[in-house]
Amino acid sequence: MNVKSTEFRASLPPNSDGSSTSPSPTPVQSTRDRPLAPDATSSAPSATPVDHNHTEFVQLLIQELQAETGGVSKSLRDVAQRIAVEVERICEKSDRIQQSGQVRSWQLTLARHRIQKCLAYHKLGSRRGRVELHSHLSAMVYRHIAPARTHMGFQGRYTLIEDFLQNFYIEVLKAFRRENQLSAEYSPRTRIELAEYMAFTEQYAKRRINLPGRRNQQLVVLRAQGFANRQPLETSVDMEAAIESGRSEEAEAYSRSPVVQQVREQMVAETTDPSDSVLRDRIIAELVEYLESQGQSECVDYLVLKLQDLSAPEIDEVLQLSPRQRDYLQQRFKYHVEKFARSHRWQLVHQWLGADLDQNLGMAQQNWDAFVDTLTPDQQHLLRLKQLKTPDQAIAQTLKCTTKQVHKRWVKLLDLAWQARNEAKS
């Protein structure tokens, strides 16, 4: 959504660092972290005894931040310390991570995920970063900002969104201070601190709050609904117990494709484990990157709006599409999602869906045995080689074909597995 940020500045200091002109959301080499005010204050979480592993972890994060920002400052060290403390807390709370025997590996994965988010805003700079964040949050609350059973157009919703987000940014700043044990006077002032704060704002907005009936909802959506109903903030919600999660939104409801259906179901599945959040964020980020590499910027815009649960008429209004143009865009999007899921990044997608080869492509043992029996001898041979993690080049030599033919045969086999898995669920 092309929504300009006017109120986000209210929660941040004026005269912040300038912006970069590059629109890319992925971290690349960026400019140095430089103080914006000589008297800027920043403090890490309260000093407690730490072991050598924690110290080494923080130092590693400092090095990774330094590699992208080009310098080390006190504010950068504080950012690294805050990331380390938060990641260690998450890993300690996650039963899955604790039982995996790979706690350090998960700490690094989660920390790098946060660093990438932070560096993405660092690269955008203060002004452009605020506009991007404001636009993203506006899309998240667009459908929920108006009172129920009202027919309000884009301009009316835009005005309500501006009023709502002004208060929401104030809430986020207070939460940032509280969760990082910072003083009540703390405000982000350096470029790296502003980037950290904007990344926190995005994550905070997406936290999922448990509701009665085994349901949950994103925090910013709950806030927008309360605003729309002119009700006070939900006092029954314990914010300290809010579950951290990334994107978990509605996807392509129009499509009957087995691939898109299963991806959609996983996107909206309830989760309380942060490791699922990392995979979900990575899938969506790589899908966006893939669509952009294919020159499908319109598909990216459509995905962003559809994931925010906007209706077809609302998408038409925002993107200025006719119903016929939207139908064509839907078909293009469906084609590229299937290509991405079946061939471009099939391993990552199947891992996310809990359907990789080690898990019988997501089938129960009885269904898996029946599925394998339907395969030809050549397909069964290919499947066994894939289960042994044999490189495609070696598979091609064994099956006496080209690597391109191996790829095509494997994509076809995965397609059969998608269909078998859907039939087993129905």
- Total residues found in the chain within this entry: 426
Grouping H, G, I as helix, E, B as strand and the rest as coil, residue 208 is strand
pLDDT for position 426: 56
Helix (H) or strand (E) holding 209: strand 208-211
The full set of domain ranges for the chain reads 8-241, 247-354, 358-426
Query: Using the 8-state DSSP alphabet, how is residue 19 labeled?
Result: B
pLDDT for position 200: 94
pTM of the model: 0.48
Question: How do the pLDDT tens digits run along the chain, 426 residues long?
Answer: 444 444 454 455 444 444 333 333 333 333 333 333 333 333 334 444 445 688 899 999 999 999 888 888 899 999 999 999 998 988 888 888 888 888 888 888 889 989 999 999 999 888 888 888 988 888 888 878 877 666 666 667 778 888 899 889 999 999 999 999 999 999 998 999 999 999 999 999 988 887 777 677 889 988 998 888 863 333 223 323 332 333 333 333 334 455 555 554 444 444 444 555 566 667 777 788 888 888 888 888 888 777 666 677 777 877 888 888 888 888 888 888 877 876 656 666 665 565 567 777 778 888 888 889 999 999 899 988 988 888 888 999 998 899 888 888 888 888 888 788 767 665
Q: Rounded distance, CA 312 to CA 330, Å?
A: 11
Integer angstrom CA distances of residue 295 from 201, 252, 299, 340: 30, 20, 9, 14
pLDDT for position 338: 75
pLDDT for position 303: 81
288: nearest Cα among 69, 18, 24? 24
CB 189 within 8 A of CB 40: yes
CB 1 within 8 A of CB 139: yes
